[in-house]
Chains A and B, each alone.
Chain A
C-alpha cells in the first residue's frame, strides 16, 4: 500500500514536470511581452510615472485614434449583429440542406479577413470598383470612399457577419418551436412573443456576441493597415507605427497606448464572461 502511494506521488511529480515546457513557451511568448508592455507604459526618462498617459489624454491626435477605434468598432458591431440576428433566425427556419450549405460557407468566410479582404473590397468598392460604379449608375450614391471611416465601417461589418452568425446560431436553439406554439395558443401575438419570451431569453447571448464583435473590431489591424497603408488613425495602427515605423520610434509611448487598448479589451472580455454565465443553455 505504501509503495503504491509513493509511486502515485512520484507519478504526480513526473506529471507536473510535463507541464514545464508548456509553461516556458507560454511565458516566453504571451506573458513576458505583456509584462514588458505593462512595465514600460509607466516608465519615463527619469524613472516611473504616468507622463505617457497624460500625454495621450492631452493629445488631440491620440484621442482621435481612440475615438475612431471606438466608433468603427461600435458601428460595425451594430451592423454585423443586426445582419447576423436576421440571418441566424432565418437559418433555423429553412430546410437543413440549405442551412448546412450556408452555415459551412459562412464559417469559411470567417477566414476571409485582413489583407485579402481589403483587396477584395478595393476591387468592389474602390473608386473604380464594380459595385461603386453600379450604385452610381442607379443613382443611389454620389461617391464612395472606401478609405474613409464610413468605408472602414463597411469593410469591418463584413468580417463581423460570419463571426456573429457562428456565435448566435446556437443561441437560437434555446427558442423552442413549442414555446412559440404554446404562446400562440394562449393568445400571444408575434410581437408579444418576441417582447416577453423571445428577447428576454436571447438577451444574454445577444449582448455576449456584441461584446465579442466589439473586441474583434477593436483589435483588428491587418484590414485597416492593408486598406490605408497605415494612414488611417486608429489605435492598433498608432501602436504599430511607434515600434515598427521608420520614424518616431517610441516603445514607451507605444506601450502606454497598448495598455489603453488592453484595458478596453479586458473590460469587454470580463463583460463577456459574466454574460456567458448568465445565458440560457438548452438542456441536452
Chain B
C-alpha cells in the first residue's frame, strides 16, 4: 500500500468514528423528538403517524407555563445574585489580594466535590424552621444555584481578567485621573463583558436543568420545569417527550449564543 492509500483509509476510519460518536449522542434526542411528534408508538419500531398535538397541548397547559416561568425567575435571580457577589469578589481578589486566589481555587472545588444531595441534607435542617426558614420557597434555590454557578463563573472571568492585565489597566486609569471605583466600573467591567456573557449563558443552560435541589428542597411548592417534568411521569409519554424537546430547545438556544459569542472573541 502506498502512503496516500494508508492516509485515505486512516481518514475514512476517523470520519466513521466521529460520525458514530455523533450518532450515539444524537440517538436519544432523535428518539424523543420522533416520539413527541407521533400520534401513537408502542410495540413497533416506527410510529403510526405524525402530529403536532402534543406540543399544542403542552404549550396551552397552565401548570407547564407556570413551571416554565418559575424556572426562569429562579435562574435569572440566581444569575443576578451571582454577578452581584462574584464580580466585586474577582476584582478585589485580583487587584488587592492576589494571594487569596489560591484559597479561592480551593473553595470553588467544594461545589464540585459536594454532591447536591449531600448539601440538601444539611440545608433541609438548617433552613427548615427558625428565623431563616426558606425550605419550600424559591429563595433557597436562588442561594443554592449561586454556589453551582460560582466555580464556573470564577474560572471563566479569572481567565478573562488575566488576559486584560488588570494592574496595568488600573494604573493607566489612575494616571489619567480616574478613581478606583470609576476605573473598575468604566474601564475594567466593559473589558469583561464578553467573558461574563459567555459564562452567564452557559450557567443558565445548566441551572435551567437542575433537578436535585429543586426536587428535595422545594418540590411542588414552587414547581420548576424539571420537577414538573418528573411529576408528569405518569402522563402520556408523547406529552413528556414534547416537554423534553421544548426544554432542550431552550438549552440549545443558550449554548448556541454562548458559542457564538466565544467565536467572535477570537
Contact = CB atoms under 8 A, between A and B. Distances in A.
Interface residues of B, number: 82
A123 B10 CA distance: 36
B237 interface: yes
A50 interface: no
B71 interface: no
B18 A130 contact: no
Contacts of B27: 124, 131
A218 interface: yes
Given A111-B209, A117-B28, A123-B237, A243 B120 contact: yes
B252 interface: yes
Contact of B118 (A99, A105, A162, A258): A258
B43 A133 contact: yes
A22 B88 contact: yes
A262 B122 CA distance: 13
A120 B32 contact: yes
A15 B96 contact: yes
Contacts of A240: 117, 120, 216
Contacts of A269: 109, 112-113
Contacts of A25: 81, 85, 143, 146
Contacts, number: 245
B144 interface: yes
Contacts of B216: 240, 243-244
Contacts of B180: 11
B119 A34 contact: yes
Contacts of A107: 255, 259
Contacts of A158: 24-25, 28
Interface stretch (A55-63, A202-210, A221-229): A221-229
B121 A37 contact: yes
Interface in B110-147: 110-126, 143-144, 146-147
B18 A102 contact: yes
Given A22-B89, A34-B114, A105 B25 contact: yes
Contacts of B109: 269, 273
B136 to A, nearest CB: 12
B31 interface: yes
Contacts of A134: 45
A137 B45 contact: yes
B122 A34 contact: yes
B11 interface: yes
Contacts of B41: 130
B45 A236 contact: no
A114 B226 contact: yes
A137 B44 CA distance: 11
B176 to A, nearest CB: 17
B144 A29 contact: yes
B146 A29 contact: yes
Contacts of A115: 211, 226, 229-230
Interface in A40-64: 40
B107 A121 contact: no
Contact of B116 (A12, A21, A109, A221): A221
A247 interface: no
Contacts of A219: 115-117
B24 A83 contact: yes
B17 A258 contact: no
A279 interface: no
Nearest to B26: A105
Contacts of B259: 104, 107
A265 interface: yes
Nearest to A88: B21
A240 B144 CA distance: 17
B107 A26 contact: yes
Interface string A262-275: 10011011000100
10 contacts: A15-B96, A29-B119, A34-B122, A90-B18, A94-B14, A105-B25, A119-B237, A215-B113, A262-B118, A269-B109
